[in-house]
A and B are shown apart, each in its own frame.
Chain A
């Protein structure tokens, strides 16, 4: 099973700043089969990025994904107030099982 470790656990930033979230896999993620989700309290997760770097439909271009192998990054170029949430990475390259990281909480500084 591939274990995903996200860092930092909590990131405190201000609107307008740049956010960089990391996701490290215990083994190489084949096919760059890695996705990022955003989740707000009381809501289901929302797909942001798939295939490591492809934006999902309707996702603003301030969200970008990069990386391959074992190291992946989600970047939010300029934070908007609605971006403060919990972010999860997910790998599906060697499933089952599909696995998720433990999440990064992005909070307003």
Chain B
């Protein structure tokens, strides 16, 4: 069955960067979209961006443009999310999620996600 296994919890200093990995197993890797979603303590869900490996398409939320980098390594079926310039309000659980994509006049775009990783807690503290 499909599994997404994320890297472990991180504690980072303000201004530093963090990279979270997400290894997929079961099913094709390249043919799906992988989104990154975060959840601050006691708060709702926030989408950072997504990648569709088969088309080498990457989409970012404007709020995080310039601070987030999403990549995928098809040889290891692993997606990555790097967030730089960390602040205390970046403290959150970061999820990767596998889902589908659609095509419109802007190209290919991620849509809903039916498999999620277990989440990675990133704590930003001095």
Interface size of B by Cβ–Cβ distance < 8 Å?
A: 27
A56 interfacial by beta-carbon distance below 8 Å: yes
Given contacts A33-B111, A50-B112, contact A100 B49 (CB under 8 A): no
The answer for the CA separation of A102 and B61 in the assembled complex, in Å, is: 17
Given contacts A45-B45, A99-B47, A102-B44, contact A35 B59 (CB under 8 A): no
A residues 8-66 in Cβ contact with B at 8 Å:
30-31, 33, 35, 37, 39, 44-47, 50, 56-57
Partner of A92, one of B44, B60, B111: B111
**What are the residues of chain A within 8 A of B47 when measuring CB–CB?**
95-100
A88 interfacial by beta-carbon distance below 8 Å: yes
Residues of B in contact with A (beta carbons under 8 Å apart): 35, 37, 44-47, 49-50, 59-63, 95, 97, 102, 104, 109-114, 116-119
